[in-house]
Amino acid sequence: MSQYGRQGRTLYADALNTATDIVAETGQMPQMAELADKLDVPENSLCGIFGSEQQLLVAIAENAMMLLHDQCVRTIVKVNDQDPVAQFQALSDAYIEWAYNHPREFRIIGSMPAEDFQHNDKLMRYEQSIHELMLRLLMRAKSMGKLSQDENLPLLIAAAHSFAYGLVSKMLLGDLARWAPEHDELTAARAAMHMFTSRVLCIQSA
């Protein structure tokens, strides 16, 4: 049955989901004609929403970052707001769980050229809001004596992100738990990230 009469919002969501599947499976952005055929809609109906394959890719990336942002918010509110260390660790859990639950989106964001990412205001706002929260939490931890006073906080954030990205990449390959056979992939990733925050970030006991 043709879906040409569906509401534009539904077509937008279906197009994002289908295009994300195709990118995850093939590593390539689908052409509008291919995507229209998959969705059983005229090609011009998709072009009217996205304009081009590049705009479609940006929409996929924006959706991925929105999912990450939502995961961070839902995770951090469950943690004691007076404990910045626990909140920082909750953010790392959120990142790992987002990637575990949305591996397609994780891979798409990871493969997106930095220049394309940085030139998109919405993507940068999502990323900066998370980075700013991480910085505020580390500043609070430092003021409470739970972090070395001479730590370079922006560099720590960059290191934490790089470590988490590599950790998640191995998790999604199914190549992490074999190094920690007492854990499954997800719990191994969480445990390793908590070890990072408690040792590499030099978080001290209260």
150-188: pLDDT as tens digits: 888 999 899 999 999 999 999 999 999 889 889 999 999
Cα dihedral 145, 84, 190, 105 sign? negative
Q: Helix, strand, coil proportions of the chain in percent (round to 5)?
A: 75, 0, 25
Residues 26 and 106 in one domain: no
Q: Specify burial of residue 43 (Cβ count, 10 A radius: 0-12, 13-18, 19+).
A: middle
Q: How many domains would you assign to the chain?
A: 2
From CA 14, how far away is CA 25, in angstroms rounded?
A: 17
87-121: pLDDT as tens digits: 999 999 999 999 999 998 898 888 888 888 888 88
What is the C-alpha R_g of the chain?
A: 20
User: What is the structure's pLDDT at 68?
Assistant: 93
2-15: pLDDT as tens digits: 444 445 568 888 99
Q: How far is CA 145 from CA 82, 112, 140, 156, 195, in A?
A: 14, 38, 9, 16, 19
User: What is the structure's pLDDT at 146?
Assistant: 78
Side-chain-side CA neighbours of residue 7 (13 Å): 3
Residues 101 and 180 in one domain: yes
CATH of the domain at 180: 1.10.357.10
Residue 205 resides in a domain: no
Residues 42 and 64 in one domain: no
Residue 206 resides in a domain: no
Domain that holds residue 44: 1-51
Residues 76 and 127 in one domain: yes
From CA 118, how far away is CA 192, in angstroms rounded?
A: 29
Residue 130 resides in a domain: yes
User: What is the structure's pLDDT at 117?
Assistant: 86
163, 193 Cβ separation under 8 angstroms = yes
pLDDT band at 200 (very low <50, low <70, confident <90, very high): low
pLDDT band at 142 (very low <50, low <70, confident <90, very high): confident
User: What is the structure's pLDDT at 129?
Assistant: 92
Residues 102 and 13 in one domain: no
Q: Which residues contact 109 (CB under 8 A, 6 or more apart)?
A: 61, 64, 65, 117
How far from the centroid of its chain's Cα atoms is residue 25's Cα?
Answer: 19
Nearest-10 crossing angle of helices 84-101, 153-173: 30
Provide the mean pLDDT of the chain.
86
Kindly state the tokens that stand for 5. 């009469």
104, 23 Cβ separation under 8 angstroms = yes
Residues 140 and 44 in one domain: no
User: What is the structure's pLDDT at 203?
Assistant: 55
78, 104 Cβ separation under 8 angstroms = no
16-42: pLDDT as tens digits: 999 988 888 887 888 999 999 999 888
User: What is the structure's pLDDT at 53?
Assistant: 85
Averaged pLDDT for residues 73-83: 90
Residues 25 and 102 in one domain: no
Residues 40 and 67 in one domain: no
